[in-house]
Amino acid sequence: MAVVVRQMKVEDLEDVRRVDLLAWDDLVRRIYPEIPKTTSRTDANILSYLHTDGDGAVVAVDERAGIVGSSFSHIWGKTGWVGPLSVLPSYQGMGVGKMLLKSSLRYLEDRGCADIGLETLPEQASTLGLYLRVGLRPEGLVVVLGRSLEGHKPSPASAAVSIERFTDARSKDLLLARAKEISNSLHPGLDFSVEVGVADKFSFGDTLFAKYDGKACGFCALHTVMRRADMSGAAVRCIGVRPGYGEIVLEPLLSSAEDLAAEAGCPEILVAVPANRRRATDSILSRGYSVTQTLERMMWMGSSGLASGMGDNLCSWSG
């Protein structure tokens, strides 16, 4: 077997989708047999990764079989993470995943990321073992919470907090700067403004900005278009709230995100929350959310941000 890793090209899109689908379908059949159908990623999902950081998207190529694996890298300022990483079932256990992972980790380090890691399903033993052997360490649990939007009624507007949609903003550059500033207040060097731009550029959804006493103090990037075909829910990509404003701003942001998701016809909404964020977790659960999935955040270098008590840094490092 002669397999090499190279940079991904737009022409690879169909093969990358195929590999991802076969790898995911194999995983679902083994771990989640109750799920009846696995669907492929959308072209827009893969292209958004390619256009956001094309240099960090790589494929593993067998000289005879063609593309047998793929990996994407994401950079949020000084924070970098890997995912999704997919390998054809017939090539798993042969070192292909290790090659792809090392390539992505080195790329993020070369790009100056101080905090580098990924997230994985804790019940996926073989993948967890691979990550441990490469040198990643478990850092903490991220819980994906979800709730149905069936029969949803718009929430009353908050008297104290005003919400602005990024798509309606007069100055998008100003809001991008605010997103970067708020992100950095949560974890040094973190920059969620990338996700704000992606949601807008690829029409995946919108970002809601919360103002309290005239000051932008929080935001929520929401995707109302899911990453896989035939999936119709909405997913919060990230929520950032300045330290000291969580109890004031988080609820209005969640209410507005639910309204936006329902307006887009989404039957449910998902939000990822670090399990140790007690106040945020309790607040979201009190709105009728329940646990739908758990992820283990693993670090190769630097800090995951999970241990920081500053503000609300709610996100998932999962592609």
pLDDT in tens, 103-112: 999 999 999 9
Q: pLDDT (tens digit, 9 = 90+) per residue, 119-145? A: 999 988 889 999 999 999 999 999 999
pTM of the complete model beyond 0.75:
yes
Provide, rounded to the nearest whole percent, the portion of the chain with pLDDT above 70: 99
Provide, rounded to the nearest whole percent, the portion of the chain with pLDDT above 90: 87
Q: Are 248 and 212 in contact (CB under 8 A)?
A: yes
- Domain formed by 145-315, architecture: 3-Layer(aba) Sandwich (3.40)
Work out the pLDDT band at 38, boundaries 50, 70, 90. Answer: confident
Per-residue pLDDT for 35 more than 90? no
Q: pLDDT (tens digit, 9 = 90+) per residue, 182-218? A: 999 999 999 999 999 999 999 999 999 999 998 999 9
Q: Tell me whether domains 3-113 and 145-315 share a fold.
A: yes
* Distance separating the N- and C-terminal Cα atoms of the chain: 28
- Separation CA 34–CA 31 (nearest Å): 9
Q: List the domain boundaries for the chain.
A: 3-113, 145-315
The reported pLDDT for the residue numbered 1 is 66
The token pair that represents 222 in the structure block: 């929401």
Per-residue pLDDT for 308 more than 70? no
Which listed CATH number (2.60.120.430, 3.10.450.50, 3.40.50.300, 3.40.630.30) goes with 3-113?
3.40.630.30
